[in-house]
Structure 1
Amino acid sequence: MPEPHRTTRNALTRRRLLAASAGAAAALGAAGFPVLQTGSPAISRGRLRAEPLVPARNRGIILFSVRDRIGAAPDDSGVPYGFERVLARLAEIGYKEIEFAGYNQHASILGRQITPAEIRKILDDNGLVANGTHTQINAATFEQQLDIAETLGMRHIGTGSDPTGSAYRPDWDAAADLWNELGRTARKRGLKLYTHNHDAAYGFLLDAGPLDAAGRPTRSTGTRKLEYFFTKADPRYVFFEMDIYWSYVARFKHQTYVDQWGNSRTDLFDPILTVVPRTERFPLFHAKDGDRAAAQANGYVMTPLGEGDLNFQQFFEEIGAQNYHHANWEQDTAPGGAANPGQSLSFAELSYRNMSELTIYRR
Structure 2
Amino acid sequence: MLKQIFLVYSFLSIAVLPSLAQKNKKSFPAEIGMVSYTYRNSFSKDVAKTLDTIKILGITDMEFSNLFGKKAEELRKLLDERNIKCSSFGVGYDDLVNKTEEVAANAKTLGASYVRVAWIPHKAPFTLEVAKKAVEDFNRAGKILKEKHGLTFCYHNHGYEFQPYEKGSFFDYIVQQTDPKYVSFEMDILWVFHPGQDPAQLLDKYGKRFKLMHLKDLRKGVKGDFSGQTPVENDVALGTGQLDLPAILKAAQKAGVEHYYIEDESPNITKQVPQSIAYLKNLQM
Q: TM-score, normalised by structure 2?
A: 0.82
For structure 2, the residue ranges without an aligned partner over 5 or more in a row are: 1-15
Aligned to 2:280: 355
1:198 and 1:246 in contact (8 A); partners too: yes
- The question of 1:98 aligning with 2:98 is answered no
More helix by share: 2
For structure 1, the residue ranges without an aligned partner over 5 or more in a row are: 1-41, 73-81, 105-112, 206-220, 252-268, 336-342
- The question of 1:150 aligning with 2:108 is answered yes
Give the deviation of 1:164 after TM superposition: 5.7
- The question of 1:196 aligning with 2:156 is answered yes
Q: 1:222 to 1:311 in 2, by over 3 A?
A: same
The aligned length equals 262
1:176 and 1:232 in contact (8 A); partners too: yes
Q: SS of 1:319's equivalent?
A: helix
Aligned to 1:179: 138
Aligned letter for 1:181? R
RMSD: 2.8
Give the deviation of 1:307 after TM superposition: 2.4
- The question of 1:314 aligning with 2:247 is answered yes
Q: 1:54 to 1:129 in 2, by over 3 A?
A: farther
Of structures 1 and 2, the one with the larger relative CO (CA 8 A, separation 6+) is: 1
Give the deviation of 1:283 after TM superposition: 1.0
Give the deviation of 1:277 after TM superposition: 3.0
1:108-187 pair list within 5 angstroms: 113-137=69-93, 138-162=96-120, 167-187=126-146
- The question of 1:279 aligning with 2:253 is answered no
- The question of 1:250 aligning with 2:195 is answered yes
Q: TM-score, normalised by structure 1?
A: 0.65
1:289 and 1:305 in contact (8 A); partners too: yes
Give the deviation of 1:130 after TM superposition: 0.7
Aligned letter for 1:293? G
Residues of 1 paired with 2:17 and 2:206: CA distance?
A: 30
Identity of aligned residues (%): 21
1:156 and 1:192 in contact (8 A); partners too: yes
1:94 and 1:352 in contact (8 A); partners too: no
2:126 and 2:160 in contact (8 A); partners too: no
- The question of 1:332 aligning with 2:265 is answered yes
- Residues 301-346 of structure 1: CA deviation (Å, up to 9, x unaligned): 320222223121111113334764311111122x3xxxxxxx4344
Q: SS of 2:91's equivalent?
A: coil
1:66 and 1:345 in contact (8 A); partners too: no
Q: 1:61 to 1:46 in 2, by over 3 A?
A: closer
Q: 1:51 to 1:149 in 2, by over 3 A?
A: farther
Aligned letter for 1:190? G
Q: SS of 1:283's equivalent?
A: strand
Aligned letter for 2:201? L
Give the deviation of 1:231 after TM superposition: 0.8
Give the deviation of 1:54 after TM superposition: 2.9
Residues of 1 paired with 2:145 and 2:78: CA distance?
A: 25
Residues of 1 paired with 2:19 and 2:53: CA distance?
A: 40
